Chain A
């Protein structure tokens, strides 16, 4: 399972580093609730990603019906955790709702960006190779 841990570490740390840098800029520019919201959303997004990886072995080596039941249970459990920052953003004005929302998807954004930049660079390298 080392491979999964490495993947979680790679994308989790990148997402958090990105959130910290962007939040610092936003806070220094005077958008404190937006910066705080982004950090809050990203933190819970990473927790969700880690829990998702930890629950993977429970979903494997089972029948399709059991896999579906475990998936549903896992989604409900992780969504309860993801609901925490959204409720905080709704109830407290110190956290901007839309930046919390953006933070919840930062891990997914980092995953997509990583693979798309990889694809672009490999295409460019192939082009250089041809020349």
Chain B
């Protein structure tokens, strides 16, 4: 059975669409399921507030599923657009676009469930500050979506950029590497950001007077957790926009694919680890507001150390792109 290039392009588009929507739905479903489970617990604790808890759950879930809607849009483009089937690079582009968005939606989908769940639980404890809790939850959830937006941007660039003038080898590998760097790189940051936002909703419900420093440190902690996703986006941009010389050897394309894998996988751990660090700082500030300065300092130092492995991954990825 012989396959021409048109068949391979269709195969890549269908596979990419399936990957984008499949992974994208898993992340959001876990996040929404977690929120609903926490809402259950909250209603059992304080049934009188079930109306407000339901409302918070609905609004939180609406924001949490944004990442899966991004994935849906990319999947639909891949499934229903007629792509010019003239190069193996197109096959790589379509598959990479699906990979980037599907993987990139996982972390944000799951992560956004944490603040929504914590806000529902907090509302059963402190019904009087439901407005403040909901606002904090929405801000935290919106920041959680940033890594998924990076993955979406990568997918859009891949789909709407003309790569036809580039040599097939090693461009196919650079494109796949770009999708992997951006998609995998978004997982840790989405989860980490969610951990921090969840802790801040919990903290505000336990100590409403500390709401302002808790929200501020949440935003600072979340900003740092997003940095590894930014490294993923950076490597992805280099792989997409740098024109590599044509080659018949196997090593150069493998180096570019490895660069994307290295940055993508290397970004997962630091994103989650930094989330743990910031979560504990936010919890501490809610318990003892007077220690905000010390806790923030320790958090930033801890996050900087956790970040180091992400920086190693970035350095190795850059070496693979520019030196090897």
Chain A partners chain B: yes
Q: In this assembly, does B237 line the interface, its C-beta being within 8 Å of a C-beta of chain A?
A: no
The stretch among A22-30, A31-39, A70-78 that forms the contact with chain B is A70-78
Give the contacting residue for A112; candidates B63, B72, B76; CB below 8 A. B63
A67 touches B33 (CB 8 A): yes
Give the contacting residue for B29; candidates A2, A64, A71; CB below 8 A. A71
Chain B interface SS verdict (over half): helix
A116 to B140, CA, bound (A): 12
A49 to B135, CA, bound (A): 19
Which B residues, 56 to 88, have Cβ-Cβ distances below 8 Å to chain A?
Answer: 57-59, 61-63, 65-66, 68-69, 72-73, 75-77, 80-81
B25 touches A79 (CB 8 A): yes
B138 touches A75 (CB 8 A): no
User: How many residue pairs at the A-B interface have CB separations less than 8 Å?
Assistant: 109
Which A residues, 3 to 28, have Cβ-Cβ distances below 8 Å to chain B?
Answer: 3-4, 7-8
Q: In this assembly, does A47 line the interface, its C-beta being within 8 Å of a C-beta of chain B?
A: no
B73 touches A101 (CB 8 A): yes
A111 to B57, CA, bound (A): 13
Q: Which residues of B contact A59 (CB under 8 A)?
A: 32-33, 36
Q: Which residues of B contact A118 (CB under 8 A)?
A: 131, 135
The stretch among B47-55, B89-97, B282-290, B307-315 that forms the contact with chain A is B47-55
A68 to B63, CA, bound (A): 17
The interface bits of chain B over 97-137 (1 if a CB of A lies within 8 angstroms of the residue's CB, else 0) are 00000000000000000000000000000000001001100
Given A4-B54, A60-B36, A118-B135, 6 more A-B residue pairs with CB atoms under 8 Å apart are A7-B59, A56-B58, A71-B32, A79-B25, A105-B69, A115-B134
22 pairs across A/B with beta carbons < 8 Å? A2-B51, A4-B58, A7-B59, A8-B58, A59-B33, A60-B36, A67-B40, A68-B29, A68-B33, A71-B32, A71-B36, A72-B33, A79-B69, A82-B69, A86-B76, A87-B76, A90-B80, A91-B80, A104-B73, A105-B69, A108-B66, A119-B135
Binding site for A on B (CB under 8 A): 21, 25-26, 28-30, 32-33, 36-37, 39-40, 43, 51-52, 54-55, 57-59, 61-63, 65-66, 68-69, 72-73, 75-77, 80-81, 131, 134-135, 138-139, 142
